[in-house]
């Protein structure tokens, strides 16, 4: 019951501040999720795709998670041995491969610590990132998500009030940015309750920053609503099976796009293992198969839902 209460309260709070209007998904959309740790770890739970698939009903979409822990709008974490610019280059190659029609992007969490002085550079970098993405995928529709507030979990963890003030400023900057980019905006900061001094009775994070499973359940529901869709049941047996299939697909895809031994398969020592780099493409049919299973389980879950 507590969870339900927690779900409802922020929602009520939300509708006043979130931008009006829904994001329109089309049949056949290929969605890419992009960002740092919070996006990367979503693939361990699969709640977002599960809810999105169910919320869109008959419309078929696919979702690929390109989140990377510690990443920034400059591609810092994707760059391996090179400068961040190589991270952006790598990202655009991945976008080229996936040809997304929808980009859902959540950056800016690092500014909680870096401070507001970095916001102008962040916004410029974000613009450049989206330019790169649009150059590869001209008809890309974009949703910008403001990073959620940090939970003040009390010592020995640090006090996050300044960090949250910074994140509120990031949100403000992103509102303008999204408008200028003609992108949909989801106020993930307010949706998750904004800055709060007191320790939550039931924290959603382990460390103030990163959601546990319970946190992901709520955060993804908020995102679904922020996109103008209806949150979905993720508890029934059919949806649990669907979610497991999503997690399975994400695992296969992770090993495909971000394989271990990059140095030997594609990097400066590829002379040694280049031929095994070809194995990565062997993941594609496995991912396709996993997609089919997702489609089947989604159909099953929707059918159950329609039953009186």
The stretch near other proteins (CB under 8 A) out of 1-9, 18-26, 39-47, 175-183 is 39-47
Is 169 an interacting residue with respect to other proteins (CB under 8 A)? no
Binding mask 230-259 for other proteins (x = CB under 8 A): ---------------------x---x--xx
Q: Does residue 156 interact with other proteins by CB under 8 A?
A: yes
Q: What SS3 string covers 173-229?
A: HHHHHHHHCCCEEECHHHHCCCCCCCCCCCCCECCCCCECHHHHHHHHHHHHHHCCC
- Is 272 a binding residue for other proteins by CB under 8 A? The answer is yes
Nearer of residues 11 and 165 to other proteins, judged by Cβ: 165
Q: How far is the CB of 25 from other proteins (least distance, A)?
A: 29
Using CB under 8 A as the binding rule, whether residue 262 contacts other proteins is answered as yes
Q: 176-213 in b/e burial notation, b at 16+ Cβ within 10 A?
A: ebbeebebbbbbbbbbbbbbeeeeeeebbbeebbbbee
Does 181 bind other proteins (CB under 8 A)? Our answer is no
Tell whether residue 160 is a contact of other proteins (CB under 8 A).
yes
Sequence-distant (≥ 6) Cβ neighbours of residue 99 within 8 angstroms: 30, 136, 137
DSSP assignment letter at 80: T
Q: Which stretch binds other proteins (CB under 8 A): 6-14, 53-61, 180-188, 279-287?
A: 279-287
Q: Which of residues 57-86 bind other proteins (CB under 8 A)?
A: 68-71, 76-77, 79-81
Helix ranges (DSSP H) in the chain: 2-17, 37-40, 47-55, 84-98, 111-114, 119-136, 161-180, 188-191, 213-226, 237-257, 262-265, 270-277, 283-306
Please give the backbone phi and psi of residue 172, each rounded to the nearest 5 degrees, phi first.
-60, -45
Select 215 or 238, whichever has its Cβ closest to other proteins.
Answer: 215
Interaction site with other proteins (CB under 8 A): 36-37, 40-41, 44, 68-71, 76-77, 79-81, 109-110, 113-114, 150, 155-158, 160, 206-210, 212, 251, 255, 258-264, 267-269, 271-273, 275-276, 279-280, 282-283, 286
């Amino acid at each position: 019951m507590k969870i339900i209460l927690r779900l409802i309260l922020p929602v009520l709070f939300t509708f006043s501040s979130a931008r009006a209007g829904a994001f329109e998904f089309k049949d056949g959309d290929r969605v890419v999720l992009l960002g740092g740790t919070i996006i990367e770890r979503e693939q361990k739970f699969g709640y977002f795709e599960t809810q999105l698939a169910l919320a869109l009903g008959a419309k078929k979409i696919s979702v690929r998670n390109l989140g990377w822990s510690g990443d920034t709008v400059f591609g810092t974490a994707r760059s391996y041995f090179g400068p961040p610019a190589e991270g952006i280059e790598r990202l655009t190659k991945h976008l080229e491969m996936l040809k997304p029609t929808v980009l859902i992007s959540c950056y800016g969490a690092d500014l909680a610590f870096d401070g507001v002085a970095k916001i102008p550079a962040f916004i410029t970098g974000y613009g450049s990132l989206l330019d790169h993405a649009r150059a590869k995928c001209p008809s890309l529709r974009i949703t910008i998500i403001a990073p959620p507030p940090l939970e003040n979990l009390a010592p020995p963890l640090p006090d996050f009030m300044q960090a949250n003030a910074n994140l509120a400023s990031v949100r403000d900057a992103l509102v303008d940015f999204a408008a200028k980019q003609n992108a949909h905006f989801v106020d993930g900061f307010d949706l998750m309750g904004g800055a709060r001094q007191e320790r939550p009775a039931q924290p959603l994070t382990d460390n103030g920053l990163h959601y546990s499973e319970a946190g992901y359940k709520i955060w993804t529901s908020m995102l679904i609503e922020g996109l103008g869709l209806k949150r979905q049941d993720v508890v029934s047996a059919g949806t649990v099976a669907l979610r497991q299939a999503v997690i399975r697909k994400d695992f296969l895809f992770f090993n495909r796009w971000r394989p271990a031994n990059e140095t030997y398969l594609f990097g400066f020592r590829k002379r040694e293992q280049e031929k095994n780099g070809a194995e990565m493409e062997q993941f594609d049919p496995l991912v396709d198969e996993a997609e089919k299973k997702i489609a089947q389980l989604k159909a099953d879950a929707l059918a159950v839902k329609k039953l009186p």
